[in-house]
Structure 1
Amino acid sequence: MGGFLDGTVVLDLSSVGPAARASRILADYGAEVIKVGPPPRKQGVQIDPPFYSYGAGRGMKRARIDLKAAAGKRALLKLAERADVLIESFRPGVADRLGIGYRDVRALNPRIIYCSTSGYGQSGPRSGQAGHDIDYLAVGGFLHCSSRRADGTPAIPGATVADSAAGGMHAAIAILAALAGRARTGEGAYLDVAVADGVLHMMSLHVDEHLATGSRPGPGSSILTGRYACYDVYRTRDGKFLAVGAIEPAFFANLCRRLGLEEWIERQLDDASQAELRAALAEAFARRDRDEWLREFEGTDACVAPVLDIEEVVRDPQFVHRGAFVEAEHPERGRFKQVGPVLAGCQRPEGVHKVPTGTDTAELLAAAGLTADEIEQMRAEGVIA
């Protein structure tokens, strides 16, 4: 069984960030992703050889093309003629100035799904600003509503939430929706994906509350951000932690019974009692080690989970059972494990994943119709590699 996107050709002009996350999702589901980047001497920010880059390029082909050269632009447009999707993450307006914008590509391929990803979108007062994950989380209200450090500053999340969820997944979903629409209408589409918009969508519970009531949500203001003691993290005797998400009354009652705190069952959401309840829960959890508590709660619906460090995560029986980790091989660095595709309904690829280290430029351009002489001339001029 192949992937759901078998036969779908994607050109990805990004290097890192949300667009790269989106193309990896598409590749994992079977799309033929061609990663287009500049020749080595013209590269900017690089993530090679850190191990994330080995997984980021999983299952993709590579084309090294100088898009600032006229011949490079023509080569890219030839590749775009047979593509289903093109993803770019330049600053707004750059693709147009290079002559590879949506209008340029659509003139050659009206069925193209052209996805522009950026921090703030293609228009608006912030559209030209540089930014990274932390910036998009900041303007979307995420950091404001996050927990505070000892000095009162917002805590930085432990993962690239904006790039991955608000940006990469947002872009992948938009592309898939556009492909479904094209299958019905035959028409391509232009997609303007802004990471900050995705963050705003993630914050909709807080934003909608403010718009409806005038309230000012912040850290710990709602049940899902720590307002109540039944939804928090507690330290155990061995210095490890347990996450408790016992929101539903039945789950909270089960939690209290296991901890010997039955007297608190009826006061779960009493605002005046939260400090005292939190202290009681903290004292109870501190009496035993984390894994002792896990055995105690086994088979009990109380929404209690261990806070695992990364070393524990990669050994976790549930993830191992789900085939979450795959083996890869690099010609210089040998074999190693990496996080595999998150697939729903597709057969996982078997065998050892070969990390792409070379370039497929000549092969791809030949398939697009360029002659051997044209390809060799571009190579000699440093336009391709």
Structure 2
Amino acid sequence: MMLPLEGVKVVDFSTLLPGPLCTLLMAEAGANVIKVEKPSGGDEMRSYVPKAGPDAVNFGMLNRGKRSTVLDLKSQTGREAAMTLIDEADVLVEQFRPGVMARLGLGFDAVRARNPRLIYCSITAFGQSGPKAAMAAHDLNCLAQTGMLALSAGIDGAPVLPPALIGDIAGGAYPAMMNILLALRQREQTGVGSRLDISMADGLFTLMYWAIGKGTNTGEWPKPAAEFVTGGNARYQIYRTSDGGYLAAAPLEETFWRNFTRVIGAPELATRSGLDTSVKERVSALIASETAKAWADRFKNVDACTVRVIGLEEALENRHFIERGLLDRKVRMPGGELIAALPVPLAGALRTEAPILDAPALGASKPRFAYDP
């Protein structure tokens, strides 16, 4: 079957994570993606560690199935070559600070005059307008400025450094992909392209729906380590076990809570509120009396939404994820090394079946969408 984005041409000026992940999803769905890189070393992600050959593993995982061309956008020749690519493109993705593309002569107004069907997608920390638009920022800064980082604080009040780049992915790459697909659909109806302003910070507020709902409607703003899903509820909690392990317990519904209290040997708590501090203290004491494995064995065949906290290595070795084929696909690095491909949230029927795709060598392709002979 034809892949959903076959025939779609994407010119990608982005670097690091948000834009490259967005265009990776498009490439996996069949799009022809050309990555425009700077002459001096290309995408900075190439220099990261660990490496597989000359380039970083991170780069290979995020740029599988794309091609790379080198253009000096500070030169007239480079800008003209870029404009030639844009003339043919269906989608442009960039994540420079607001105004940079315009100063290069590649801004939306300039390219729309030549290619009115283009979907022009800009991904930035705080968007194209507003007092923070020009602020230099990374993922952590977006989390800090939207209230999300404050909500991650533990009992001691100190925010916890997240283990995932939430702003880049959930606030940037995923909304960009979603809006590009909607814009392509709209173009089918209207015949014209559109300008997409993707703010990673804006996207983070969607993830805090419960906190916004409480604060704006009651005037009582959520406190860290004290709310329904952030530490204040015995029914949604991480409990320490006797061997220093942890149990992740989320028996929110009454049925699950009854099962949970029965397994831990405290059925009398089944009618008590999880928001009662004494309930959380009692459950904590009971869980602390056994090892993580012992509790995992007890909950194994019980519907109580309670599992042992495991590490990434153990998770990837778990039979469930192995049978799901999470790491079956590979990336061939420019030096020939094979690494695991990044698992992406695309249904198998909508993405390439190729088990191995190449990560592009820097500047290996000419600045054109036709595949080089």
Q: Which amino acid aligns with 2:12?
A: D
Residue of structure 1 equivalent to 2:197: 192
SS in 1 for 2:313: helix
The yes-or-no answer on 1:215 pairing with 2:217 is no
SS in 1 for 2:69: strand
Conserved in 1, the CA contact under 8 Å of 2:121 and 2:197? yes
SS in 2 for 1:336: strand
SS in 1 for 2:80: helix
Residue of structure 2 equivalent to 1:324: 326
Residue of structure 2 equivalent to 1:15: 15
Deviation at 1:64, TM superposition (A): 0.8
Structure 1 residues 292 and 350, CA, compared in 2 at 3 Å: closer, same or farther? farther
Matches of 2:358 and 2:365 in 1, distance apart? Answer: 18
SS in 2 for 1:108: coil
The yes-or-no answer on 1:73 pairing with 2:79 is yes
Structure 1 residues 319 and 3, CA, compared in 2 at 3 Å: closer, same or farther? farther
User: Structure 1 residues 225-234 or 323-332, which shifts more?
Assistant: 323-332
Structure 2: 5+ residue runs without aligned partners? 49-54
User: Structure 1 residues 317-326 or 282-291, which shifts more?
Assistant: 282-291
Q: Which amino acid aligns with 2:339?
A: F
- Which residue of the other structure, out of 297, 300, 304, is the alignment partner of 1:298? 300
Matches of 1:298 and 1:11 in 2, distance apart? Answer: 49
Deviation at 1:307, TM superposition (A): 1.7
SS in 2 for 1:230: coil
Residue of structure 2 equivalent to 1:159: 164
Matches of 1:31 and 1:87 in 2, distance apart? Answer: 13
More helix by share: 1
Matches of 2:150 and 2:261 in 1, distance apart? Answer: 32
The yes-or-no answer on 1:242 pairing with 2:244 is no
What TM-score does the superposition give when structure 2 sets the normalisation length? 0.91
- RMSD across aligned C-alpha pairs, in angstroms? 2.2
Structure 1 residues 149 and 214, CA, compared in 2 at 3 Å: closer, same or farther? closer
SS in 2 for 1:228: coil
What TM-score does the superposition give when structure 1 sets the normalisation length? 0.88
Matches of 2:353 and 2:369 in 1, distance apart? Answer: 28
Matches of 2:283 and 2:352 in 1, distance apart? Answer: 42
Correspondences of 1:1-385 after superposition (within 5 Å)? 1-40=1-40, 46-48=46-48, 49-148=55-154, 150=156, 152-269=157-274, 271=275, 273-274=276-277, 276-325=278-327, 326-332=329-335, 334-344=337-347, 345-346=349-350, 349-362=353-366, 364-365=367-368, 367=370
Conserved in 2, the CA contact under 8 Å of 1:328 and 1:335? yes
Residue of structure 2 equivalent to 1:378: none
User: Structure 1 residues 51-60 or 220-229, which shifts more?
Assistant: 220-229
Identity %: 33
Residue of structure 2 equivalent to 1:376: none
Provide, for residues 150-186 of structure 1, a one-character-per-residue CA deviation record: whole Å limited to 9, x for no partner.
Answer: 4x32111111011110111111111111111111111
Aligned length in residues: 364
Conserved in 1, the CA contact under 8 Å of 2:28 and 2:351? no
Provide, for residues 274-311 of structure 1, a one-character-per-residue CA deviation record: whole Å limited to 9, x for no partner.
Answer: 2x222222232233332332232223211112322121
Provide, for residues 165-209 of structure 1, a one-character-per-residue CA deviation record: whole Å limited to 9, x for no partner.
Answer: 011111111111111111111110001111110112222321232
Matches of 1:211 and 1:140 in 2, distance apart? Answer: 15
Conserved in 2, the CA contact under 8 Å of 1:2 and 1:347? no
User: Structure 1 residues 79-88 or 195-204, which shifts more?
Assistant: 195-204
Deviation at 1:258, TM superposition (A): 1.2
Matches of 1:45 and 1:149 in 2, distance apart? Answer: 36
User: Structure 1 residues 301-310 or 47-56, which shifts more?
Assistant: 47-56
Structure 1 residues 279 and 65, CA, compared in 2 at 3 Å: closer, same or farther? same
Matches of 1:352 and 1:86 in 2, distance apart? Answer: 26
User: Structure 1 residues 124-133 or 303-312, which shifts more?
Assistant: 303-312
Matches of 1:335 and 1:365 in 2, distance apart? Answer: 27
Matches of 1:337 and 1:157 in 2, distance apart? Answer: 24
Conserved in 2, the CA contact under 8 Å of 1:82 and 1:368? no
SS in 2 for 1:243: strand
Q: Which amino acid aligns with 1:148?
A: G
Deviation at 1:351, TM superposition (A): 3.0
Conserved in 2, the CA contact under 8 Å of 1:140 and 1:203? no
User: Structure 1 residues 36-45 or 277-286, which shifts more?
Assistant: 36-45
Provide, for residues 235-263 of structure 1, a one-character-per-residue CA deviation record: whole Å limited to 9, x for no partner.
Answer: 22332212111111111111111111101
Provide, for residues 18-69 of structure 1, a one-character-per-residue CA deviation record: whole Å limited to 9, x for no partner.
Answer: 2222112222222111111111367667544331111011111111111111
SS in 2 for 1:23: helix
